[in-house]
């Protein structure tokens, strides 16, 4: 019985990569599919809104933990002064004191105060689905960015064979780019190595904390969002987003993605999850694993 349960868990993790199973289910479960008319038309909300949301959340995270970033920001005086002003505006009066003090909040609380909701990983409401992602606090309106899909970004020609073995966390973008969202084993080592490679002096170019149980970017949980079913309709959708070159260097430390290779100069690909309807506190997030591009 234990062996059968183990085999079933492995199958549930692998079946989305088994071509015959995919072909059968694409025909049988058409209402759970996601249709994209063209490879360039996958946008639920404009990229400008995605960028605005990320900048808002990342700025709030930096201001919340401002003291830790002072040495690095001293290399960018104008930028440092701007965040110092934002920090001053966020200071709260201390109890029984005429002076002000900053209260260090958890990343989840920063997200709640910034966007009005927080998300967390927990046991899925689906049987045998393992971990899922829930709205733990607040309310998420339709069309809101609710999570990000972290991981190493691979182009079509780059090696990912060994990382893909037994790995259910590889996301395929519409144009063939792959994102490995596995936080264990070889995938974990590759991501950390690429992150150290790209560090620019004191500035981190990506976030490695999503590999732990306490990510500094609370949005970086998208790889654990489960697939929709007949009983659980999709309430979020994946949207690809290329980080613009003018993205602030001091905020790149919260981006949970890194490119595998710099052989070809290109924008950093990220994938965000956007809500398809209003989502209330306590609801689990469900996405569409199957995308048909006409």
Question: 167: helix, coil or strand?
Answer: coil
Highest mean pLDDT among 22-31, 38-47, 219-228: 219-228
Cα separation, 288 vs 34, whole angstroms? 6
Q: What is the mean pLDDT of residues 215-235?
A: 92
Inform me whether the pLDDT recorded for 20 exceeds 70. no
* C-alpha distances in Å from residue 205, one per residue of 42, 158, 192, 200, 208: 26, 21, 11, 7, 10
**Mean pLDDT on 34-42:** 60
Residue 73 CB burial class (10 angstroms; 0-12, 13-18, ≥19): buried
Inter-axis angle of helices 47-64 and 77-90, to 10 degrees? 80
> Per-residue confidence at 89, pLDDT binned at 50, 70, 90?
confident
Long-range own/partner contacts, residues 153-157 (CB < 8 A, 24 or more apart): 153/177, 153/178, 153/179, 153/257, 153/258, 153/259, 153/260, 153/268, 153/269, 154/178, 154/179, 154/180, 154/260, 155/260, 155/261, 155/264, 155/266
Per residue in 105-150, pLDDT (tens digit) is 999 999 999 999 999 999 999 887 889 999 999 999 999 999 999 9
Residue of 294 and 102 predicted with greater confidence: 102
| Per-residue tokens: 37 | 């008319």
pLDDT, one tens digit per residue, over 139-196 is 999 999 999 999 999 998 898 989 988 888 999 888 889 999 999 999 999 999 999 9
pLDDT band at 15 (very low <50, low <70, confident <90, very high): low
- Looking at residue 294, its pLDDT comes to 47
Is 290 a residue whose pLDDT tops 90?
Answer: no
What CATH architecture is 2-53+106-293? Beta Complex (2.170)
At 182, give phi and psi (nearest 5°): -75, 130
- Domain residue limits, the chain: 2-53+106-293
pTM for this one? 0.85
Grouping H, G, I as helix, E, B as strand and the rest as coil, residue 132 is: strand
């Amino acid at each position: 019985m234990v062996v059968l349960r183990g085999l079933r868990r492995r199958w549930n993790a692998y079946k989305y990569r088994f071509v015959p199973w995919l072909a059968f289910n694409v025909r049988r479960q058409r209402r759970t599919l996601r249709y994209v008319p063209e490879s360039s038309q996958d946008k639920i909300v404009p990229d400008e809104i995605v960028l605005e949301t990320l900048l808002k959340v990342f700025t709030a995270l930096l201001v919340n933990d401002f003291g830790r970033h002072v040495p690095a920001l001293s290399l960018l005086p104008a930028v440092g002064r701007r965040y110092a002003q934002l920090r001053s505006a966020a200071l709260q009066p201390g109890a029984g004191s005429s002076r002000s003090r900053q209260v260090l909040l958890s990343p989840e609380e920063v997200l709640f105060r910034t966007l009005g909701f927080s998300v967390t990983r927990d046991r899925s409401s689906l049987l045998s689905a393992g971990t899922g992602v829930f709205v733990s606090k607040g309310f998420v309106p339709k069309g809101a960015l609710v999570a990000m899909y972290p991981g190493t970004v691979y182009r079509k020609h780059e090696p990912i064979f060994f990382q893909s073995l037994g790995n259910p966390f590889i996301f395929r973008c519409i144009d063939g780019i792959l994102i490995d969202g596995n936080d264990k084993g070889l995938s974990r080592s590759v991501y950390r190595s690429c992150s150290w490679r790209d560090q620019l002096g004191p500035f981190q170019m990506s976030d490695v904390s999503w590999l732990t149980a306490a990510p500094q970017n609370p949005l970086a949980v998208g790889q654990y969002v489960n697939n929709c079913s007949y009983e659980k309709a999709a309430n979020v959708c994946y949207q690809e987003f290329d980080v613009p070159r003018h993205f602030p260097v001091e905020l790149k430390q919260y981006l949970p993605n890194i490119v595998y290779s710099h052989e070809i100069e290109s924008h950093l690909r990220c994938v965000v999850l956007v809500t398809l309807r209003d989502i209330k506190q306590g609801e689990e997030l469900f996405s569409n694993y199957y995308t048909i591009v006409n």
